[in-house]
Amino acid sequence: MINLVTIEREYGSGAGDIAKQLADRLGWKLWDQQLTDEIARQLECERRHVEQQEERKDPLYYRLFKAFLRGSYEGTQNTQVMKMADAESIRRASEKLVRAAAGGGNAVIVGRGSAYYLKDRPDSLHVFIYAPFEERVRRLQLRGKSREEAIHLAETVDLDRKAFIKQYFGVDFPGRQFFHLMINSAISDEAAVEMVLDGLKIIGKSE
């Protein structure tokens, strides 16, 4: 029986909203913001908007961690000042939390490498949400970003995710072979949710 959905995404595609609607429809636990907050707590970070380091001076551990932070609420760019922690410490913390969240079942997990960590679990459905560039810019603008900032975010944020996925899983993001469904959110959030629900029903019947 499928009792776990992971949702990976392009930045600005609305996956966070889709995941919340899906979790509400299923009555399942949503793991999104809580995962980020717990990672921050374990690594002794404060969740504040801090952009004090230039990108060229941004060490690997800091860039990779931002890839997690930028996933929580699309359109925000919250980053954190971290105590010294290497990239492997960050990876271990995220994997541990993702696996713990999955272990409880009846869960929707957004990002944090969850589709890749949990790829061998037969009780999971893995979904990738994407959208055309202008649609992502539009969604970011609806969240209060200027068009210039929205374009910049849509062009750059996924670079951190790609670096993380490539480094730790050897996969060229997103890695289509890891997903059961890939959905263009331009069809509407409601339609995307229905497609995931249909996928759960179809896979459930085939077991």
Q: What is the pLDDT of residue 192?
A: 97
- Please report which confidence band the pLDDT of residue 136 belongs to, taking 50, 70 and 90 as the band edges: very high
**79-128 pLDDT tens trace:** 444 454 556 767 787 889 899 999 988 999 998 889 999 999 999 999 99
Tokens coding 191: 């339609």
Residues 6+ positions from 138 with CB-CB distance below 8 Å: 150
Per-residue pLDDT, averaged over 130-158, amounts to: 93
Three-state DSSP state, 187: helix
Domains of the chain in start order, with CATH, are 4-206 (3.40.50.300)
Determine contact, residues 51/146, Cβ cutoff 8 Å: no
The least confident of 4-8, 69-73, 143-147 is 69-73
Alpha helices in the chain (DSSP H): 15-26, 33-42, 60-69, 87-103, 114-117, 133-142, 147-169, 189-206
Question: Which of 167, 173, 139 minimizes the C-alpha distance to 12?
Answer: 139
Tokens coding 43: 């690594």
138 vs 48, more confident = 138
Q: What is the pLDDT of residue 13?
A: 95
Question: Which of 136, 161, 163, 162 minimizes the C-alpha distance to 151?
Answer: 136
Cα 145–Cα 46–Cα 69 angle in degrees, nearest 5: 45
Q: What is the pLDDT of residue 51?
A: 27
**7-63 pLDDT tens trace:** 999 999 999 999 999 999 999 999 987 877 777 677 666 544 222 222 234 555 566
Q: What is the pLDDT of residue 38?
A: 77
**145-192 pLDDT tens trace:** 999 999 998 988 888 888 878 888 888 999 999 999 999 999 999 999
Q: What is the pLDDT of residue 150?
A: 93
